[in-house]
Structure 1
Amino acid sequence: MSSLSPTWSTPSAPFWLLVDGDRTASAWRATAAAERRTGLLGTDPLPGALWIERCSSVHTFGMRYALDLAFLDRAGRVLAVTTMATSRLGLPRLRARSVLEVPAGLLSQWRIVPGARLSLVARPDQSLVTGE
């Protein structure tokens, strides 16, 4: 079965992805260990992004599509971007604290390049329950 949202999440994305302060796309955030391990497995190409916290490396084993990845520092600044084909294991980026995953081709379309500042903001149409 395929999905247009992470299998562990609600169907609609609860966040907006901001690129240098500009609202760019809808987004999900993976914070729990199970969410981070599962990531985008079992999905079709998303209409948004997945922000994986406390992460410096990803794999694409079991993925149905290639991913664009942006490795982020603690402040949300993009350290590096890359495209990863399916069935690959990425090397860790030592300074990365989060990874943004999107279907291949979207990072350049959204002008996400090294040095860009990314952040998430809650969508006002979503009711969020967070532990923060």
Structure 2
Amino acid sequence: MTAPDRPRFGPGPARLLVDGRDVAALAVADTRASRNRGLLGTSAVDGALWITKCPTVHMVGMRYPIDVAVLDRRGRVLKVATLRPWTGMTWPRLRASVTVEAAAGSMEAWQVRRGSVLEVG
């Protein structure tokens, strides 16, 4: 299966809220299988993916860059980064609990910054 033949991920049934603003469709990965799968095997992401119990992510096996926001248990953003395929990763952070993944450029467009509060709506 070539990259264009790979399915797009999303959009999910929930909504991503940034500081109370509704910004995108959101899928929630809250089972071991859905957390392990994440965006692997997809060609792009529509909206965002909220991954519970996920303090760090890697890009091994990914074919496109993504933006990530690492959150604490209250949804406060600890780190925002753009990760490249195969080489990118986030390092474990004290208090990290959730990772939100989206298309590269999304976090800036949604005005997600360190200290922002993200929620599932």
TM-score, length of structure 2 as denominator length: 0.90
Looking at structure 1, the residues matched to 35 and 94 of structure 2 have their Cα atoms a distance apart, in angstroms, of 18
Pairing of 1:7-86 with structure 2 (within 5 A): 12-86=11-85
Residue 107 of structure 1 aligns to a residue in which SS?
Answer: helix
1 CA distance for matches of 2:81 and 2:95? 15
Shift of 1:12: 4.5
Which aligned segments of 4 or more residues in structure 1 are displaced greater than 3 angstroms? none
How many equivalent pairs are there?
116
Once the two structures are superposed, the pairs formed by residues 50-129 of structure 1 within 5 Å of their partners are 50-88=49-87, 89-121=89-121
- Specify the SS of the correspondent of 1:17: strand
Q: Distance in 1 between matches of 2:56 and 2:113?
A: 18
Q: Deviations over 1:108-130 (max 9, x none)?
A: 01100011111112xxxxxxxxx
Match of 2:6 in 1: 2
Amino acid at match of 1:65: Y
Q: CA deviation at 1:90?
A: 3.0
| SS of the residue 1:27 aligns to | strand
Which runs of no fewer than 5 residues in structure 2 stay unpaired? none
Percent of matched pairs sharing the same residue: 42
With 42-51 and 106-115 compared, the bigger mean Cα shift is at 42-51
The CA RMSD over aligned residues, in Å, is 1.2
Q: How has the CA–CA distance of structure 1 residues 87 and 15 changed in structure 2, closer, same or farther, with 3 Å as cutoff? A: same
Superposition TM-score, scaled by structure 1 size: 0.83
Listed as ranges, the gaps of 5+ residues in structure 1 are: 6-10, 122-132
